[in-house]
Amino acid sequence: MSFDFPQDWPAPTAPKPIVIIGAGGIVRDAHLPAYAKAGLKVLGVTDLDAGRRTALAQDFAIPFTYASVAEAVAVQGKAVIYDLAVPPQAIASILPALPDGAAVLIQKPMGADLAQARAIRQICRDKQLKAAVNFQLRFSPMMMAARQAIAAGRIGTPLDIEVHLNIFTPWSLFPFLLPMPRVEMLVHSIHYLDSIRALFGTPLGVFARSLPDPRAPGLAQTRTSVLLDYGDLRRGVMSLNHNHQGGRRFQSAWFRIEGDKGVLMIKLGVCFDYPHGEADELWFCPNGGEWQQIRLTGSWFIDSFMGPMRNLQRFDAGEDAALFSGVEDAFQTMALVEACFDAMALPAVPLQI
């Protein structure tokens, strides 16, 4: 059985140059390497920290730096794509400075909570922005292939989707998370919830618990359990532990996707020995058949970061009819995350003993 599905979003025919707003680590480690690989030109960068924007421009041969978003907009207008890579709480204050009708890629999450996401969505509507959110896992080669395989009926009727992580995440690399009241689901497993939506659709409701761990002192949550309600046919589960101390042997990070005709297994390679990572993997087994590994064209980091920008470029140029991770769709992922946090406040059913 053929498994020859496209794994990369098609490149735009005549891409616009990019102006990056924010010069933090994710831009250095993922955005700029991915754009270089995709052949996309970064024309300028702005950041509140003059030293940081200057250093980024020097290190990546970016021609122009701007002291503010207003300066960048005054010079470039709508002739560029804006890549907004700032903390979630800053998004709503920056979007109004962009030109009406501009194309902008917004770093995930879409605000720190659903109220901020709703405000961001309204700004994008009012200004008629061509706006997408950088939920890039759904654009990774493994997820692109898996989504098309499900749509093509390779696993039959979808029945089960499970995300299981038992890994060691070096939280010391992310000190900015320490004061945040929402950590694991908002900044990490939001990727999985978004990809579950892309693969299986939006659930009807959720039950969730996300907990701290004494092995990760100071962090609000590093362990999460989520049950996704799809009604009586489909089942969705997430079980995540970021604090495993037993070494590599029994670590795991995978999606299991089963239907009545077959099963897909997806290994999230970047989760192992982060940030070094291992190779992503995609496996397929038809019922009663043999497991076959599907060759991947790239990885979550950094290849998936090409997809959202390519899709936005093509949508801006009229080559794509829709944004795969547009703000309207991304808002549904934010609503799912918010429902998980709301579910944490609900009491469990007590035992009647």
Residues 27, 20 contacting (CB under 8 angstroms):
yes
Using CA atoms, how far residue 327 sits from 45, 120, 235, 312, in Å, is 23, 8, 26, 12
Q: What is the tens place of the pLDDT at every residue in 211-220?
A: 999 999 999 9
Report how far residue 310's alpha carbon sits from residue 15's, in angstroms, rounded to the nearest whole number: 8
Q: What pLDDT sits at residue 303? A: 95
CATH code: domain 138-298 is: 3.30.360.10
Domain boundaries, the chain: 18-137+305-325, 138-298
Q: What pLDDT sits at residue 1? A: 55
What DSSP assignment string belongs to 238-302?
Answer: EEEESB--S-STT-EEEEEEEESSEEEEEE-GGGTTTTT----EEEEEETTS--EEEPPS--TTT
* Angle separating helix axes 114-126 and 327-344, nearest 10 degrees: 160
The CATH architecture that domain 18-137+305-325 belongs to is 3-Layer(aba) Sandwich (3.40)
Q: What pLDDT sits at residue 63? A: 97
Report how far residue 222's alpha carbon sits from residue 236's, in angstroms, rounded to the nearest whole number: 20
For residue 269 the two structure tokens come to 């390679």
Whether 138-298 and 18-137+305-325 are alike in CATH topology: the answer is no
Over the chain (353 residues), the average pLDDT of each successive run of 10 is 87 98 93 97 96 96 97 97 95 98 97 96 98 98 97 97 97 89 95 98 97 96 98 97 96 98 98 93 97 96 96 98 98 97 94 93
Tokens 């659930």, residue? 203
Residues 61, 330 contacting (CB under 8 angstroms):
no
Which of 121, 118, 137, 141 lies closest to 129, judged by CA? 121
